[in-house]
Structure 1
């Protein structure tokens, strides 16, 4: 298959990346100025930051807005199978033709200057969204918040901060307070901010930032509560109680993300159609996604096969809790991780739920943790672990030993993307 023209341009953009990765907004502001500041022409913006759950929360907000008949732009990262997933224009993924044209324009406007891949592609997304009519724009940060390339909108409609935990320490700091300070950088003067459940150390930083800027907080545990009761999601705030279906996205950890999405929709004063749509219509691949068809399922037709892209300790805890709540079945992990992640922290909570872990290296990723290192770390937290050449071999070996196993492919969004590309 010939390479898409957009992929060729994206490859050229990679060559512009500075030799040293630094979080600054100077390069973004320079390119946005050359593009005549598209960030000032966006439909009303809802800006999301957080360590875990911001993609799922964004998906539920989008589903709710669209259920209410609104046209919604959405920007997210990273992509799983195709770059086009990052830019959704008025409800539809950007077309190859439109993406190629907007990338070409941004590449030319940048004039060969150094700029990161995320920065220049974010500018492309903003330009595409500014030129397409819509009712709302959902922007998800890539890394942090304060110096993230998406943090260029002076007056968003709302901001959202999902749960914060330790991740990307090399860029954001090695304490919850430092990381929260970076995430809280999206809070703007006088703009309401929905806050998901937070550790006390993180919440204190967020509250101080909001108070300094006069930004009203709509915080979990203070202004809104959410919980499951008899197979329903119960959301409660000062306006009353909502009794809704459980989120379409599986896992108890999605309840808090659903609560944040509902807090946004309630503040914007949408009605029951939006609230129910946020629960029933949201779709977000590689977040405890059940794989029911494709070549992997054909290899092991009796295996219960799942895919998840979580990759930090908080994600490991959420996965372990979800697995513990599923009907009893021998559970096996096929795990590939990046060498920049806390692999033992991720795997430690999963040890009690997994009968065995099969480690693989992530295909095509320079920063993959080698399979034998992943297996070694799994053993260090008490798991039985072995290695395999790839997902196919790992799954076939598991199915041969236990045909009715539950298998979770996990550890990285990059591995999840590889799997989704492989199964089409």
Structure 2
């Protein structure tokens, strides 16, 4: 339930600066901000710890991991959604755009079937029942190298809280998998393919791109407009690909694979999203550009936890230390993603904003969460 409370003696991370102060929370909204270390009677004394906005996650595959914890294992969806929701809350994420694939390949060794419409309906039902701790929106990952993209996207509409549609082109030999050996290692490990099966799989994907790719991209762009969703590119590699993305009206670029592409995105005023695991590990598991290189060059705007929810806050802290600017570092997981998707009610500590907040201390160089509030209700 929403609570009225005061957080005092905290290091507040504001949009442009950090300062010691206190917050008054009423009816799930930040009502007042005061400076100084004073602790009013009844207030929560944060002991100088950091209080920042709740984290906003734009692209995570975590829900898919919960519904299929092992290959060919289908976990009960409601239980998976609730576990996913609780896990994100425990890492400081208070708003999430849950990534779901649309576009399937029902034939061949590497086949995969549709699931997004059913899963989205189950998630929205739990939300309507007030069963979720944090705020959920949908992120539809439109796989252009597929057989069923158009019909799957037709199953969604403006009422479905689709906030993002991203154009996914996983054609072997380009974008994320320019190095086909990386794709080979990934697919063979996941699907236990033989050499012949992998060769056939690559040929099938290339044929699907040749047959359906351009049409699927056009239909996905139109669907995003129909939903009222933000359109994102994925794994842009060249300046030419970014130019095409800009022509589609792309509003953000997920995981550009080269410095060239990230630079071109900024030239087109397209914010760049990079993976928090990439930043923490010091490089991409696919052999693409390292997130820290883009941060150093000034081309990193937003972080995504991608496949490790707990990575989001840790990576933002690493950026804060790299840039020697806590406001700028935390902005990559708070106000910057909020602005990118048009959420103007959250993402910063300011009077009148939602009381989506996290309280953490630094321990051994890592953030240790103490409390998480979503719209004024404590959720972790």
Q: Please report the TM-score for the alignment, with normalisation by the length of structure 1.
A: 0.29
Structure with greater proportional strand content = 2
Structure with greater proportional helix content = 1
Which of 1 and 2 has higher RCO (CA within 8 Å, sep 6+)?
Answer: 2
Q: Please report the TM-score for the alignment, with normalisation by the length of structure 2.
A: 0.31
